[in-house]
Chains A and B, each alone.
Chain A
């Protein structure tokens, strides 16, 4: 036996990227723009989506719900008569903590892609792994709720840097918290100075119109850059 060094020089996530590119090709072919929605568990992604989708006039939207287990989120979206598919990741290594391109691909045949303008992929609640795995999306959004504290951009810069829009949610709770909004914004700026930031309360509906407009404009922006 002897040993040989073999030059590889490929991105370790190459296999995922190849499938993400195939997803992207299918999305483009169907004319659907795709957004990857990420956050920590309990930041309010599904409640925000409910608010937005309830009156997303003129945009035909569909949702892909990623969770380790259960279909509670998909049931909530289905109640709005929006096409939705639940993707459970529990069959992975102890329950995958994120969606990857292949998982998303496996769910596409269950969605009427050609009848949609916008597909929202609600990722598994997690501030780490989802940032690593592209799924073929046009845009990445993260929701950071004020109950999580101001330091999250510094603790999870990979996630904050991966997103072009940061939605600061639960702002109705600000009067009850020792939360320094200025410090959060400074921390977001320190790790991702180009990011757009919006303030919302999914509970009261404050700021949701701005998010709805931003989401509704994704199909046009995606077409412009295609």
Chain B
């Protein structure tokens, strides 16, 4: 559902900047903190773009890792959950799939500064949700009228 809303916003943004030209590619920068599932976004992008100039466009996602900085002590860190040491039995019970996806039951994210434990922290990277660029088709005539 989240990805449906976002893909609609991405398609609208691309169309606004395409100026009526056919869009063949859309490059999107997504911060890890936006919790976007890439496959899901691609799925909804395909549906939402149907019947528009974005139909059939290739969606390229650049996922930006999160990075925080403490406003008090200046320490900088990645807040994403770090896998904790777990016994073999736990890993076996959870299976390889949950291990690969970082089961949230195994680790907590860390948005409080791990160095000084203060809460006054800022997001350096990871909040992005940007349409970076689009690739559009230009008619040959246009090329003749306005050569580079």
Interface set of A (CB-CB < 8 Å, partner B)? 1-16, 93, 96-98, 126, 128-129, 132-133, 151, 154-155, 157-158, 161, 186-187, 189-194
Contact = CB atoms under 8 A, between A and B. Distances in A.
19 contacts: A1-B139, A1-B140, A3-B25, A3-B135, A4-B136, A8-B13, A9-B131, A12-B129, A15-B9, A15-B12, A15-B13, A97-B1, A129-B5, A132-B6, A133-B5, A154-B109, A157-B35, A193-B112, A194-B121
A11 B138 contact: no
Given A1-B138, A190-B111, A191-B111, A8 B1 contact: no
A154 B133 contact: no
Interface string B1-33: 110111011101110111000001100100001
B138 A3 contact: yes
B111 A13 contact: no
* Chain B facing A: main interface SS: mixed
B75 interface: no
Given A6-B134, A6-B136, A158-B35, A190 B14 contact: no
A12 B120 contact: no
B131 A3 contact: no
Contacts of A9: 130-133
Interface in B91-106: 104-105
B119 to A, nearest CB: 4
B62 to A, nearest CB: 12
Contacts of B5: 96-98, 129, 132-133
Contact of A194 (B9, B24, B119, B137): B119
B34 interface: yes
B89 interface: no
B104 A12 contact: no
Contact of A13 (B108, B109, B129): B129
Interface of B: 1-2, 4-6, 8-10, 12-14, 16-18, 24-25, 28, 33-35, 104-105, 108-112, 119-121, 129-140, 143
Chain A CB within 10 Å — which of B6, B25, B130 has the most? Answer: B130
B28 A12 contact: yes
Chain A CB within 10 Å — which of B5, B25, B136 has the most? Answer: B5
B138 A190 contact: no
Contact of B33 (A7, A11, A158): A158
Contacts of B132: 7-9
Given A11-B129, A11-B130, A12-B129, A154 B108 contact: yes
Given A3-B138, A158-B34, A192-B111, 16 more contacts: A3-B136, A4-B138, A5-B135, A6-B17, A6-B133, A8-B131, A12-B9, A14-B13, A129-B1, A129-B5, A132-B129, A155-B104, A158-B33, A161-B33, A190-B109, A194-B120
B139 A190 contact: no
Nearest to B5: A129
Chain B CB within 10 Å — which of A2, A12, A126 has the most? Answer: A12
A189 B2 CA distance: 24
Given A2-B143, A193-B111, A12 B13 contact: yes
Contacts of A16: 9
A189 B113 CA distance: 11
Given A187-B108, A194-B120, A12 B10 contact: yes
